[in-house]
Chain A
């Protein structure tokens, strides 16, 4: 028994890849996520885009001020171990970033954006503003780490953002029935070498990819690849297959890097402190 255990640990050392007791490559730990979401080749001007690219942006008032004191955007620095690495990020396939939209769906999407500021109704409020579960793509990465845990049969990802969590089943079970729709989908995974491949279905129609693509449909089917690149880095790529909106799948990429020692998860209660819908729409009438 001892010789077997010794052999296993020697093998682990030689391969350089630590393993969990049940034999999975050990991916556990707390990470920041980078990249993932990017701009397509001909993005629409987004009326609610706060970045410097948008002439309507409050950041372009010429006074050097953003919407909030700068420190709120800079605090995430304590989550980063080193300067940002240069790795694949954003839309990586097709290489020219021309997404294979169905023309009528692209037109609908562009029109939808024009009704988001001010939002003409609840449906046109950016999902980020509603404290919903973030789907696979949102998550306020600048300030909020991700924690990977593993046990026999599953990988669990805990997000600081809005206390989100995902479970990725590794036991070969089938997906949920088609009448159960979820913000985070239903994830079934397997390891291939040092890559965790995750197949997710059963999404509802409330996944937002980005400000420019505010919704994907309930025909969304994703394949994620989490590849352990080195002891501190996970490369990440997602194939987005949404046949209601696109004529072909496309891919977006990012990466995770370990946070410094001592960083702990903090509660991110979202709806409890949010005044956003009240500030946008005013108070709902008391009477029903």
Chain B
């Protein structure tokens, strides 16, 4: 009887580890990186159906004005596209570059090809730490809800945008992501976004993620910072 119980435990443990395997390389196939909402095409910007539920982002009035300012100055002000800074969450998920989920029982890590960004997602029930400065990619803590990977992200700084259209947040940003496998090659990705300094209520984005099925595929390097430095400092030094 003891043998049977032990066998069941061993078997269950194995199943839990294998039950939802999100390991692999994934990519979004949409235009959310340019603009989260419905938008017409422009030179250099593909047209897109938005990923925001209800297509409205519930800005406070001051924030709606700030978003317009951001949009107008996006060619120089976009922290990711113009300055090569870390893209933040959830933008890292839908930048037009692949990312890799590295899943182990106690830790899920994400590796992003854009700017070699990474995220560590402890799965051990630990709390967000206290007193750290805000992070570009936030602090992530994960758990399983059935087959769904749920990630709670907070402790952000206020420096990133959600897209190239100037949608932004404060350091009170709180994101809850849900990665739900539909089949072995598709995940439904949802992110609920709340920020009491900027939005009147939480809002949500949702999109499919597609597995890169080529077995030879591997993340390469998009070293945006290096390329930008080579351009900006080509003629250095600048002081007399």
Q: Determine direct contact between A and B, CB below 8 Å.
A: yes
Q: Which residues of A are interface residues toward B (Cβ below 8 A)?
A: 1-2, 5, 21, 28, 118-122, 130-133, 147, 149-151, 156, 158, 162-165, 167, 169, 171, 173, 176, 180, 182-184, 186, 206, 264-267, 269-272, 277, 280-285
- Most A Cβ at <10 Å: residue of B159, B229, B234: B229
Residue among A2, A28, A281, A282 making CB contact with B3, cutoff 8 Å:
A2
> Once the chains bind, are A272 and B226 in contact (CB under 8 Å)?
no
Q: Does B103 contact A (CB under 8 A)?
A: yes
List B residues 75-119 near A (Cβ within 8 Å). Answer: 84-86, 100, 102-104, 107, 109, 111, 116-118
The residue in chain B whose Cβ has the minimal distance to the Cβ of A118 is B237
Q: Given A131-B225, A167-B111, A186-B218, A158 and B237 touching (CB < 8 A)?
A: no
Once the chains are docked, how many angstroms separate the CA of A207 from the CA of B205? 40
> Once the chains bind, are B120 and A158 in contact (CB under 8 Å)?
yes
| Set of chain B residues within 8 Å of A277, measured between Cβ atoms | 229, 233, 236
| Set of chain A residues within 8 Å of B225, measured between Cβ atoms | 130-132, 270-271
B198-240 CB mask vs A (1 if < 8 Å, else 0) is: 0000000000000000011011110101100110111111110
Q: Does B132 contact A (CB under 8 A)?
A: yes
> Once the chains bind, are B17 and A21 in contact (CB under 8 Å)?
yes
Q: Does B7 contact A (CB under 8 A)?
A: yes
Q: Given A122-B230, A167-B218, A282 and B239 touching (CB < 8 A)?
A: yes
Once the chains are docked, how many angstroms separate the CA of A2 from the CA of B23? 28
Once the chains are docked, how many angstroms separate the CA of A149 from the CA of B107? 9
Residue among A130, A184, A265 making CB contact with B120, cutoff 8 Å:
A265
Once the chains are docked, how many angstroms separate the CA of A272 from the CA of B136? 9
The residue in chain A whose Cβ has the minimal distance to the Cβ of B17 is A21
Give how many B residues have a beta carbon under 8 Å from the other chain's beta carbons: 49
| Set of chain A residues within 8 Å of B126, measured between Cβ atoms | 264
> Once the chains bind, are A28 and B7 in contact (CB under 8 Å)?
no
Once the chains are docked, how many angstroms separate the CA of A2 from the CA of B221? 45
| Set of chain A residues within 8 Å of B233, measured between Cβ atoms | 122, 277, 281, 284
| Set of chain B residues within 8 Å of A1, measured between Cβ atoms | 7
> Once the chains bind, are A130 and B136 in contact (CB under 8 Å)?
no
| Set of chain A residues within 8 Å of B6, measured between Cβ atoms | 2
* Least distance between A98 CB and chain B CB atoms (Å): 33
The residue in chain A whose Cβ has the minimal distance to the Cβ of B11 is A1
> Once the chains bind, are B226 and A130 in contact (CB under 8 Å)?
yes
| Set of chain A residues within 8 Å of B230, measured between Cβ atoms | 122
Once the chains are docked, how many angstroms separate the CA of A194 from the CA of B223? 34
* Least distance between A279 CB and chain B CB atoms (Å): 11
Q: Given A21-B14, A167-B111, A167-B219, A151 and B7 touching (CB < 8 A)?
A: no
| Set of chain B residues within 8 Å of A280, measured between Cβ atoms | 236-237
Once the chains are docked, how many angstroms separate the CA of A131 from the CA of B104? 29
A-B contact pairs, 5 of them (CB 8 A): A156-B111, A164-B116, A165-B116, A271-B85, A277-B236
* Least distance between B149 CB and chain A CB atoms (Å): 15
| Set of chain A residues within 8 Å of B7, measured between Cβ atoms | 1-2, 5
> Once the chains bind, are B135 and A28 in contact (CB under 8 Å)?
no
Once the chains are docked, how many angstroms separate the CA of A169 from the CA of B235? 40
Q: Given A151-B23, A281-B239, A163 and B116 touching (CB < 8 A)?
A: yes
* Least distance between A120 CB and chain B CB atoms (Å): 8
> Once the chains bind, are B116 and A272 in contact (CB under 8 Å)?
no
- Most A Cβ at <10 Å: residue of B117, B136, B218: B218
Q: Please name the 5 residue pairs, one residue from A and one from B, whose CB atoms are nearest each other, closest first.
A: A281-B236, A282-B239, A282-B238, A267-B135, A271-B225
